[in-house]
Amino acid sequence: MMADIDTAARPAIGGGFRLQWEPAQETHVLLYPEGIVRLSRSAAAILTRCDGQRTVANIVTELERAYCATGLSSDVCAFIRLALDHNWLKLCL
Amino acid sequence: MTEPSPARCPPPGPPLWLLLELTYRCPLHCVFCYNPTDFSNVGRELETGEWLRVLEEARALGSVQLGLSGGEPLVRDDLETIVAAAHRLGFYSNLITSGVGLTEPRLEALREAGLDHIQLSFQDSTRRMNDFLSSTRTFELKSRVAGLIKKYRYPMVLNVVLHRLNIDHVGDILEMAERMGAEYVELANTQYYGWAWRNRGQLLPSRAQLRRAEEVTARFRERVGSRMRIFFVVPDYFETRPKPCMNGLGRIFLGIAPDGVALPCQAARMLPGLTFPSVREASIRSIWYDSPAFNRYRGEDWMKEPCRSCPERGRDFGGCRCQAYLLTGDPANADPVCDLSPHHHLVTAAVARAEADVTGMPAAEPLVFRDHREPSVQE
């Protein structure tokens, strides 16, 4: 269940889910059958990069560069784990 | 009764959830339908262009989840046009259907138009009961439609309305759902409005039936794990606290009836003393933010005791206005489902009557099938 995320895996938005920017709420949301999740800024920063092309390692590197930070890997992996558990994300290998 | 000043309520957020009830026409005649029993007196349906304007205006206000429902929305031959417009505007579109009329060419066209999701309703796991409850022969058709939904790679979401006549089949219903490859199953116990209110004596299950159904569901959940998500909506008559109906009227939900009347809940049309505005005469913005009908039950000023001083009023908003009205005659009363309500005995009495006959259908009251003519009766 809580197995470590393979940083070479390529996460993508899960089937039936859609990520989009909502101007009226000034927030990113995840939409799914009859439901909506409002995303925090950091959640959105991760999910918008989950395009099935970038690897988890790529995403961590990009975020560390974008936010001038280091050591984000464990936070990013924890969030990706959570998103996988909710089917918000799937892994493309 | 005085109108509370809207200025005293915090300003509402956007109508995130927009439900278009495109038509009240429906090939089925379900005994538990929540549509108004006088639906045949409702005025002319909106035209395509009018629905498209509703979509544009609501989306501009921040609506994002779109339900397309009815009646049976597939009766409208402009459904594909409406879906395409919704997709262009950025809605997440949910088609809520009985499946009747969902042929492969139409499903292909809807897919092409950008439809995101389909919720298919079943009345029961058996042909006999499905067809009896909907007063049609639709079971095999629905099974075919379920196959099509899979073929076009939609998540399979089944909705089954539960009541006394089918709740004992929950195990079979779940197995049927599993065979169809359902990802989500909603076991929605009947809510008593419209036709269901009329048939309440026939439809309310007994406590023992409910307990058995919950046990069967729990065992099934354990077996299938996260492969299939099952939502079991408990009938609120068996609760001691009311549901936070619509998350509070006028907070996130905006429904548009077939004739363009805007409603803060599908059933709200029955509420007395309110004139619900029509999208034919007013903009969505003015309806949502400024109309007295939408402001009437926002905030807490309208509440009476025991809600007014209740520490839980921010959680359940006093329950359901329609239920309060149906049972007590005053929509501002606490929802009598709440055991703090002085009218709670009305609910417990209805449950007690359901307990009294656990053998099947009470013979005294015939079931009334949803129909546009004078109610038809099946003995």
- Count CB-CB contacts under 10 A for residue B372: 13
User: Is residue B180 predicted with pLDDT exceeding 60?
Assistant: yes
* Chains A & B: contacts with CB separation below 8 Å: 43
- Full-prediction pTM beyond 0.95? no
User: Could you give the C-alpha distances from B125 to B99, B177, B222, in angstroms and in order?
Assistant: 15, 9, 21
Tokens found for residue B74: 């597939």
Q: Which two tokens stand for residue B186?
A: 């909603």
Chain A contact for B61 (CB, 8 A cutoff): yes
Residues 91 through 150 of chain B touching chain A, CB cutoff 8 Å: 92, 94, 116-117, 119
Rounded CA-CA distance B33/B52 in Å is 27
**Average pLDDT score over residue span B15-32:** 87
Q: How confident is the model at residue B7 (pLDDT cuts 50, 70, 90)?
A: very low
pLDDT at B6 over 60: no
Region B235-264: mean pLDDT is 94
Q: Rounded to an integer, what distance in angstroms lies between the CA atom of residue B55 and that of residue B69?
A: 14
Residue A32, SS3? strand
Question: What is d(CA B220, CA B222) in angstroms, rounded to the nearest whole number?
Answer: 5
Q: Does A35 sit within 8 Å of B14, measured CB to CB?
A: no
CB distance A16–B117 less than 8 Å? Answer: yes
pLDDT for B366 equals: 59
Contact B331, B324 (CB under 8 A): yes
B142, B161, B147: which is closest to B233 by C-alpha? Answer: B161
The span from the CA of B31 to the CA of B379, in Å, is: 13
Q: Is B14 on the interface with A (CB under 8 A)?
A: yes
Low-confidence ranges of chain A (pLDDT < 50): 1-2
Residue B357 has pLDDT above 80, yes or no: no
Residue B379: is it exposed, middle or buried by C-beta count within 10 angstroms (0-12/13-18/19+)?
exposed
What was the ipTM of the complex prediction? 0.87
Q: Residue B22: pLDDT above 90? A: yes
Q: Is the pLDDT of residue B176 over 80?
A: yes
Chain A residue nearest residue B59, CA to CA: A24
Q: Does the pLDDT of residue B199 top 90, yes or no? A: no
The two tokens of residue B304 are 């009476």
Arithmetic mean of pLDDT over chain B? 87
Interface contact B262, partner A, CB < 8 A: no
B39 versus B164: which is more confidently predicted?
A: B164
pLDDT top residue among B157 and B57: B57
Which burial class, exposed, middle or buried, applies to B166 when counting CB atoms under 10 A from its CB (0-12, 13-18, 19+)? buried
Q: What is the pLDDT of residues B338-355, one digit of tens each?
A: 999 999 999 999 998 888
Query: From the CA of A12, how many Å to the nearest CA of chain B?
Result: 17
Q: Which of B131-135, B183-187, B313-317, B369-373 has the lowest mean pLDDT?
A: B369-373
Q: Do B164 and B354 form a contact (C-beta atoms < 8 A)?
A: yes
Task: Return the residue of B nearest to A27 by Cα.
Answer: B62
Residues 297-336 of chain B with CB under 8 A from chain A are none
Question: Which chain B residues are Cβ-neighbours of A15 within 8 angstroms?
Answer: 153, 155
Band of residue B196 on the pLDDT scale cut at 50, 70, 90: confident
Shortest CA gap A64–chain B (Å): 31
CA distances from A69 to A56, A62, A64, A79, B342 (A): 16, 10, 5, 17, 59
Are the beta carbons of B125 and B220 closer than 8 angstroms? Answer: no
Q: How does pLDDT run across B73-122, given as a tens digit for each residue?
A: 999 999 999 999 999 999 999 999 988 899 999 999 999 999 999 999 87
Residue A31: in which H helix or E strand, if any? strand A27-32
Looking at per-residue confidence, does B262 or B41 come out higher?
A: B262
User: Is the pLDDT assigned to residue B21 strictly greater than 80?
Assistant: yes
Contacts of B157 in chain A (CB under 8 A): 33
Dihedral, CA atoms, B188, B204, B336, B244, nearest 10 degrees?
A: 0
CA closest to A22 among chain B residues = B62
Q: Which residues in chain B have their CB less than 8 angstroms from residue A28's CB? A: none
CB contact under 8 A, B117 and A33: yes
**Percent of chain B scored above 70 by pLDDT?**
88
CB < 8 Å to A32, chain B: 92, 117
| Percent of chain B residues topping a pLDDT of 90 | 60
Contact A16 B90 (CB under 8 A): no
For the cut 70, the answer to whether the pLDDT of residue B202 exceeds it is: yes
Q: In 3-state terms, what secondary structure has residue A25?
A: coil
Tell me: the pLDDT tens digits for B125-160? Answer: 677 776 766 666 677 787 889 899 999 988 888 999
Token pair 């200025």 in the structure block, residue: B7
Tell me, what's the pLDDT at B363?
A: 44
Instruction: With CB atoms and an 8 Å threshold, state whether B155 touches A20.
Output: no
Q: Which residue has the higher pLDDT, B107 or B7?
A: B107
pLDDT for res B216:
97
Q: Taking the CB of residue B308, how many other CB atoms lie within 10 A of it? A: 14
d(CA B131, CA B52): 35
